[in-house]
């Protein structure tokens, strides 16, 4: 999108509305040449709706802004970014769907990992009638810890899966309490990261985009099984369906340039960091928007 100077925005208005419309229409909006620091990014993001507090990797004193940092070629990078390299929707395991994510390039070297977006409306449109009928009525079960265990458990650590799931859950609860105290003390209005119910929330695999009326596929790395299927069948069926859907989906490759701010529809797209590219400096700041109460998006999720 041209002609938008995010730092100059003073509040909700025509520019914010134009960006919202463009996201609904195109899925991804790229605004180049922006100069916004973390505070400005936060101020501008808040014009679009409530913000989510991050549990980890937050900017100091700015818990709504999370850093995705690559120092360039450091040995820990492949492991740290592993989950960002899987096709996912941010917080698809939450009880409501965050509608939009904003990524701002703070420092990006030429040749650093792209961010890739897969259009799930296009994916549904490309499915054959047989598959559409087969998945009609499917609900995928999304849970951030369960999916990491079931999908990726073995290669990630020697610890038994259940111990890691439990440890992550205790950590999430502790962080929740710490953030709640922090915000209450400062009188801030921010959504705390939700704690997902066990063993996940059931999310319809085929959904209708309220804006366009198009059907789209809702899956991604946080989904780990299909509700009602045996554990010996569900996880495999889901991964196979997802592979097919990604193959069918139109994919946008975003190469980062300094000054880029990207906002995308976190419901009708999946995204990932380009896998296997870790050699270059890359620092992005992420802000996740939360639905406004009563704007219809909270009713979107049918469990
Ligand atoms: O680093 C990227 O390209 C994507 C990061 C991401 O998916 C996230 O922070 O949720
Ligand atoms: Fe993400």
pLDDT category of residue 199 using cuts at 50, 70 and 90: confident
Residue 84 DSSP code? G
Q: What is the dihedral of CA 131, 134, 139, 143, to 10 degrees?
A: -60
Kindly report which listed range (43-57, 168-182, 284-298) carries the lowest average pLDDT score: 284-298
Kindly report which listed range (95-99, 218-222, 253-257, 268-272) carries the lowest average pLDDT score: 95-99
Q: How far apart are CA 93 and CA 270, in angstroms?
A: 14
Q: How far apart are CA 116 and CA 277, in angstroms?
A: 13
Give residue for tokens 């679009």.
48
What predicted TM-score, i.e. pTM, was given to this entire model?
0.89
pLDDT at 278: 93
pLDDT at 294: 55
Q: What is the pLDDT of residues 101-142, one digit of tens each?
A: 999 999 999 999 999 999 999 999 999 999 999 999 999 999
pLDDT at 233: 96
In this prediction, what percent of the chain has a pLDDT beyond 70? 87
Q: Are 112 and 256 in contact (CB under 8 A)?
A: yes
Q: How far is CA 15 from CA 35, 48, 127, in A?
A: 17, 11, 36
Strongest mean pLDDT among 153-157, 272-276, 285-289: 272-276
182, pLDDT greater than 90: no
Kindly report which listed range (128-132, 173-177, 188-192) carries the lowest average pLDDT score: 188-192
44, pLDDT greater than 80: yes
Question: Looking at the CA of 266, which ligand is closest?
Answer: 2
CA of 129 to the centre of ligand 2 (A): 30
Residues 6+ apart with CB under 8 A from 210: 296, 297, 300
Determine the residue of 286, 287, 288 to mutate for testing ligand 1's pocket, defined as the one with the most ligand atoms within 8 A of the Cβ atom. Answer: 286
Which residue, among 59, 216, 193, 23, has the nearest Cα to 135 in the 3D structure?
A: 216
Give me the residues near ligand 2 (ion), CB cutoff below 5 Å: 90
Q: Domain residues of the chain, as ranges?
A: 6-143+201-288
> What is the average pLDDT score of the chain?
87
pLDDT at 298: 44
pLDDT at 9: 94
Q: Are 114 and 282 in contact (CB under 8 A)?
A: no
Q: Cβ < 6 Å from ligand 1: which residues?
A: 68, 84, 90, 115, 271, 273, 284, 286
CATH number for the domain whose boundaries are 6-143+201-288:
3.60.130.10
Determine the residue of 273, 287, 288 to mutate for testing ligand 1's pocket, defined as the one with the most ligand atoms within 8 A of the Cβ atom. Answer: 273
190, pLDDT greater than 80: no
The residue-averaged pLDDT of 223-252 equals 96
The residue-averaged pLDDT of 203-224 equals 96
Strand ranges inside 182-277, DSSP E: 201-204, 206-208, 215-217, 223-226, 251-254, 261-265, 269-273
The string over 49-63, giving b where at least 16 C-beta atoms fall within 10 Å of a residue's C-beta and e elsewhere, is: bbbbbbbeebbeebb
């Amino acid at each position: 999108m041209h002609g938008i100077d995010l730092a100059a925005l003073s509040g909700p208005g025509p520019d914010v509305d134009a960006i919202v419309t463009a996201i609904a229409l195109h899925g991804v909006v790229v605004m180049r040449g922006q100069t916004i620091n973390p505070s400005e990014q936060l101020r501008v993001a808040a014009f679009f709706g409530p913000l989510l507090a991050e549990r980890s990797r937050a900017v100091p004193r700015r818990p709504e802004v999370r850093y995705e940092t690559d120092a360039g070629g450091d040995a820990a990078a492949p492991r740290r970014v592993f989950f960002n390299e899987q096709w996912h929707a941010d917080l698809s395991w939450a009880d409501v769907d965050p509608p939009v994510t904003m990524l701002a390039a703070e420092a990006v070297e030429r040749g650093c990992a792209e961010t890739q977006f897969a259009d799930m409306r296009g994916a549904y449109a490309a499915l054959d009638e047989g598959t559409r009928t087969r998945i009609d009525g499917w609900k995928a079960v999304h849970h951030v810890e369960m999916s990491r265990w079931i999908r990726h458990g073995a290669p990630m650590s020697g610890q038994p899966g259940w111990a890691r799931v439990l440890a992550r859950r205790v950590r999430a609860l502790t962080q929740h309490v710490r953030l709640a105290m922090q915000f209450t003390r400062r009188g801030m209005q921010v959504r705390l990261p939700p704690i997902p119910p066990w063993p996940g929330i059931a999310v319809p695999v085929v959904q209708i985009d309220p804006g366009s009326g198009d059907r789209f596929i809702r899956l991604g790395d946080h989904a780990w099984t299909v509700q009602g299927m045996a554990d010996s069948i569900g996880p495999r069926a889901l991964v196979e369906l997802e592979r097919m859907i990604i193959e069918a989906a139109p994919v946008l490759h975003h190469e980062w340039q300094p000054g880029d701010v990207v906002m995308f529809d976190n419901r009708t797209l999946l995204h990932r960091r380009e896998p296997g590219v870790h050699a270059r400096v890359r620092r992005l700041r992420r802000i996740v928007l939360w639905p406004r109460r009563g704007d219809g998006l909270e009713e979107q999720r049918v469990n």
